[in-house]
Amino acid sequence: MAAASEINWRRQALGRRVGTLALVLLVGFLFIWPVAMLFIGIFRNAPPGLPGEWTLDPLVRTFASYDTYTALGNSVIYAVSTTALATLLGAAFAFLATRTTVRLRQCITPVMLLVFAAPNLFYAISWALLADPSTGLLNAAARFVTQSQVNPFNGYSWAGLIIVQSLKLTGFCYLLLLGPFEAMNRSFEEASLIAGAGRLKTVLLIDIPLMTPAIFGVVIVGTVFGLGAFDIPQILGGLAGISVLSTEIFRAVNFSVPPDYARASALGLFMVFALALLLVIQWRVVKAGRFVTMTGKAYKQDRWDLGGWSSVGTAAIVIFTIVALLLPITQLVLTSFQPAIGVYKLTLKNFQAVLADRQTVRAFQVTLELAVLSGLLAMLLATWFGHVGRRSPRWLERYLDTATLVPIVLPGVVLAVGLLWAYVSTPGLRELYGTFWLALIGLVVAIMPIASRAVRGALAQIAKDLEEAAAVAGASSMRVLFDIVVRLMSRSFASGWLVTAVIAAGALDVPLMLLSPTQPSVAILVYSHLISGIPTEAATLLVLLLLAIIAIALLFAAVNALVGIARRRPVDHTAPARRTDTQPAGAMVRPQLEKPV
Query: Could you tell me if residue 32 is inside a domain?
Result: no
Question: Do 330 and 419 reside in the same domain of the chain?
Answer: no
113, 502 Cβ separation under 8 angstroms: no
Domain of 502 in residue numbering reads as 347-568
pTM, two decimal places: 0.83
Query: Would you call 418 helix, strand, or coil by DSSP?
Result: helix
Question: Do 400 and 280 reside in the same domain of the chain?
Answer: no
Structurally, the chain folds into a number of domains equal to: 2
Amino acid 574: pLDDT = 54
d(Cα 109, Cα 182) in Å, to the nearest integer?
Answer: 13
Query: Could you tell me if residue 20 is inside a domain?
Result: no
Question: Do 325 and 361 reside in the same domain of the chain?
Answer: no
Amino acid 196: pLDDT = 65
Amino acid 193: pLDDT = 62
Amino acid 494: pLDDT = 87
Task: Using 50 as the pLDDT threshold, list the residues of the chain that sit under it.
Answer: 288-300, 577-597
d(Cα 246, Cα 231) in Å, to the nearest integer?
Answer: 9
CATH number for 126:
1.10.3720.10
Question: Do 95 and 144 reside in the same domain of the chain?
Answer: yes
Query: Could you tell me if residue 358 is inside a domain?
Result: yes
Question: Do 330 and 381 reside in the same domain of the chain?
Answer: no
Amino acid 47: pLDDT = 84
| DSSP state for residue 588 in the 8-state scheme | P
Question: Do 313 and 398 reside in the same domain of the chain?
Answer: no
Query: Could you tell me if residue 499 is inside a domain?
Result: yes
Query: Could you tell me if residue 231 is inside a domain?
Result: yes
d(Cα 511, Cα 503) in Å, to the nearest integer?
Answer: 12
CA 324, chain centre distance (Å): 18
Query: Could you tell me if residue 458 is inside a domain?
Result: yes
Question: Do 74 and 220 reside in the same domain of the chain?
Answer: yes
Question: Do 328 and 432 reside in the same domain of the chain?
Answer: no
Query: Could you tell me if residue 593 is inside a domain?
Result: no
Question: Do 222 and 312 reside in the same domain of the chain?
Answer: yes
d(Cα 538, Cα 350) in Å, to the nearest integer?
Answer: 9
Query: Could you tell me if residue 596 is inside a domain?
Result: no
